[in-house]
Amino acid sequence: QVKVVESGGGSVQVGGSLRLSCVVSGSTFSRHSMGWFRQSPGKVREFLGVINWSGDNVVYADHVKGRLTISRDGAKGPVYLQMNTLKAEDTAVYSCAVAAILDGTEYRMPKVYYEYDYWGHGTQVTVSS
C-alpha cells in the first residue's frame, strides 16, 4: 500500500521560511515524479510545482517562481519544498502528490491534481504578521 506523508508545516512570521518534506513508502514502482499543491479555505487546490523522477527537471507555477524551490534526494528519497519570503496569503494546507513513472512515461510531470496517483494528507502552514 502506497503511503505519502508530508511534514515540516507550522507557524511562521511574514518574511520567514519553511521547508516541507514528503516521503513515499510502500510503492511498487521504482520511479515517480512528485508535485506540490496547496489549498486554503474557500479556494480551489492550487498547483505549485512538480519535480521529475531524477530530480533534474522542475516546473513551477508562475506565481511562486523565485520563492519556492523543489528538490529531492535521489529517485526514491524525500522530496522537499523550500519556501522563502512567506506571505500571509501563503497560509494553506500543503500536499504532495505522486505520479508513478511506468515504462514509456519517463517525462510524466503533471500540473493538474487529477493526473496524480497518490496523495498525502497535507500539512498546515500558517503565516502571520
Does residue 104 register a pLDDT over 80?
no
Which residues lie across from 36 on neighbouring strands? 49, 96
Average pLDDT over every residue of 32-39: 97
pLDDT for the residue numbered 114: 96
90 — pLDDT class (breaks 50, 70, 90): very high
pLDDT for the residue numbered 79: 97
27 — pLDDT class (breaks 50, 70, 90): confident
Residues 29, 80: Cα–Cα separation, whole Å? 20
pLDDT for the residue numbered 107: 87
Three cell numbers at 63? 506565481
Q: Is 104 left (phi over 0), alpha (psi -120 to 50) or beta?
A: left
Average pLDDT over every residue of 50-79: 94
